[in-house]
Amino acid sequence: MIINLPNNKCVVIDSKVPLEAYLEAIQATDETHKVVKLKDHARQVRTHFEQLGKREYWQQFNSTPEFVVLFLPGESMFSAALEQDSTLIEFGIGKNIIIATPTTLIALLKAVAYGWKQERLAENTQAICNLGRELYDRLCSMAGHFEDLRKGLDKAVESYNKAVGSLESRVLSTGRKFKELDASTDKEIAVVDKIDKAGRQIQASDIVLPEGNALK
C-alpha cells in the first residue's frame, strides 16, 4: 500500500509478513511445541525484514523516504515475536524498516490526514493572499481612473468658468445696456454664475474595512 503525503511524497507499507508459525503456535496444545513455533515466528519476521530491506522500496519511488513500514495485523503478533527476539526493532531500523501494528498504523494515517489538512489550509491561505493582491491592484487601477475623471471634471469646470467670465464681461454686460435704452423686451438677461466646487480627491480613509482587517 502506498500512502500519499503532501508535496508529492509517499510512504510504502508492506503487509506480507508470514504468520503461519504464529497461527500454529496459537493452536498448539503442547507448551514446548508452542514455544518452538513462536521462535519460528520470530525467525520468519526477521527473515522478512532482510528480504524487505533488499527490495529498497525507497529506491523505486522518487519521492519516498528511505524507509518502509512493515504492517503486522495484530499487537499480539508483534509482542510474540519480540518475546522470542528482543532485537527485532533495532534490526528492522537497521534495514530501514519501521514496524506498525493496527494501533500505530491508525496513528500514522491520522498524522498523514492532519498533514493534508494543513496543506489545504496553506493552499487556501496562499490563494487568499493572491486574491488580495489582485484585488488591491484592481483598487489601485480604479482609484487611478477616478482621479483622472476628477482632473477632467476640474479642467472642464475651469474652462466653464473662463467662458462664463468672458460671457459676462464682454457679451452680457453689453446686452443689458439695451434695457437701459428701452430697446429690449420685458425679459431680463439672467446672471450666469461660475462653479466654485472642485472634484474631491480619493483618500485612503475613504476605504473603510471591517474591524481587525486591513489591506497590505
Please state whether the predicted TM-score (pTM) of the whole model is above 0.75: no
Q: Are 72 and 17 in contact, with CB atoms under 8 Å apart? A: yes
State how far the Cα of 70 lies from the Cα of 82, in Å rounded to an integer: 15
CA distances from 150 to 138, 144, 145 (A): 18, 10, 9
State how far the Cα of 177 lies from the Cα of 168, in Å rounded to an integer: 13
Span between the terminal Cα atoms of the chain, in Å: 45
Cell output for 12:
510504502
pLDDT single digits (tens) 33-78: 999 999 999 999 999 988 888 877 777 777 777 788 999 888 899 8
Eight-state DSSP code of residue 73? S
State how far the Cα of 160 lies from the Cα of 183, in Å rounded to an integer: 30
pLDDT single digits (tens) 105-136: 999 999 999 999 998 998 899 999 999 999 99
